[in-house]
Amino acid sequence: MYFETTRSGALGKLNNFVEKNILNYTSKRNFDFGVKNRDNVSGLSPYISHRLITEYETAKKVLSKYPVEKVEKYIQEIFWRVYWKGWLELRPNVWSDFLEDLNNIEEDKNYKNAINGKTQIDCFNDWVKELKESNYLHNHTRMWFASIWIFTLHLPWQKGAEFFMRYLFDGDAASNTLSWRWVAGLQTRGKQYVAQSWNIKKFTNNKYQNINLNENASPIIDDREYKAKPLEIEKSEKKNEVLILFENDLNIETLNLQTYKEVYCILLTNENRQIKIDDKVLNYKKALIIDQAKRYQKIKVIEEDKFKDLTDTIKAFDIIYPSIGENLSFLRNIKKKKSLSYNFLTREEDEFSWQFSNKGFFNFKSNIPKILSKLKIN
């Protein structure tokens, strides 16, 4: 599966999906027909996760052609990503605890066999190879993979989430971490997702059969509770001369960059990431940034050490809010060391939508019509 590295290419993929394949999405979306046959899904997640195109403009494009009743399932899937992001924004300790857990988990032989595709489960081994080669997995396959990892291989969910983040082109802190928690039975407490052999057989079109799985597993138990808190995003009335953005929110279509003296896009190297990512993933992110820099020549692409040098003389920045994750952790760490002032630029669409992430997705889903109406998407 080929992934575009330009906004124009991403928009082309979106248009193609809407024009040709979206009406089959609801009935076909759960089937994994293999790497060479992905017409039953949109394949847009690498672009949306970096906001080369946003969730909202994707929804608007879909609903400009079809009434919501015909594409409701796809609209819901788009807004799962918004919901996950909002849920984590309201409970930031989930991310910090996840990272802390990773520091305390030993990488034993069973773990190493799993990440190298050397288990007794053929489909799992194939998915490990596919993930490493294509940096993508079908969403249903990700659920099976996570379930097998947790309940059949008995490996820590945190290391599975880390493994996905390392290799996925569309990996992001919220969707990835919380999806793994959901499979484990932590996100909706006591409600785990347990992969079944018959289900894998059916939705891989009989490719994998008679898989020996633990199909009666109990949910993972974790006594930590995370209650929703008010959003804590540093904002200032004063506009600064320098704008900073990161690779996980590259959508600058609505910004007037000419008002800024300098615009920098930072790509964190693995030295400053708590979860190290594959070189292909780093290079993919770099290609996305370079395209934006070509389109908006005011953007200068820098690594974090250059930003640290800038903070010796510049103490206040406007920053496109990168949300909970590696980039925000980096910013807050350097802010303390250099006594910096940040004015985070958030999106009206995000802040309006995130307020409905205080409970489960069913509550959020019931508010999607209100979100669409407020944002004039439908």
Which residues lie below 8 Å from residue 303, measured CB to CB, with a gap of 6+? 266, 267, 268, 269
Contact (CB, 8 A) for 288 and 9? no
Q: Structural domains in the chain? A: 7-89+353-374 (1.25.40), 93-203 (1.10.579.10), 242-345 (3.40.50.620)
The 3-state DSSP class for residue 236 equals coil
Which residues lie below 8 Å from residue 6, measured CB to CB, with a gap of 6+? 52, 291
**Cα separation, 275 vs 215, whole angstroms:** 31
265, β-bridge pairs: 245, 301
DSSP assignment letter at 52: S
Note down pLDDT in tens along the chain; length 378 residues. 789 999 999 999 999 999 999 999 999 999 999 998 999 999 999 999 999 999 999 999 999 999 999 999 999 999 999 999 999 999 999 999 999 999 999 999 999 999 999 999 999 999 999 999 999 999 999 999 999 999 999 999 999 999 999 999 999 999 999 999 999 999 998 899 999 999 999 999 999 999 999 999 999 999 999 999 999 899 988 889 999 999 999 999 888 888 999 999 999 999 999 999 999 999 999 999 999 999 998 999 999 999 999 999 999 999 999 999 999 999 999 999 999 999 999 999 999 999 999 999 999 999 999 999 988 876
**Cα separation, 165 vs 281, whole angstroms:** 9
pLDDT number for residue 166: 98
- Distance from the first to the final alpha carbon of the chain: 31
Closest CA to 347 of 315, 371, 311, 317: 371
Supply 344's token pair. 């985070």
pLDDT number for residue 378: 66
242, β-bridge pairs: 262
Q: What is the pTM of this model?
A: 0.96
DSSP assignment letter at 51: T
Contact (CB, 8 A) for 162 and 275? yes
| Count of other CB atoms within 10 angstroms of residue 9 | 15
Give the burial string for 336-359 (b: 16+ CB within 10 Å, else e).
eeeebebbbbbbebbeebbebbee
Contact (CB, 8 A) for 25 and 41? yes
**Cα separation, 282 vs 201, whole angstroms:** 34
**Cα separation, 319 vs 327, whole angstroms:** 11
**Cα separation, 209 vs 186, whole angstroms:** 29
pLDDT number for residue 255: 87
pLDDT number for residue 148: 98
- Sort 157 into a burial class: Cβ within 10 Å, 0-12 / 13-18 / 19+: buried
**Cα separation, 247 vs 260, whole angstroms:** 19
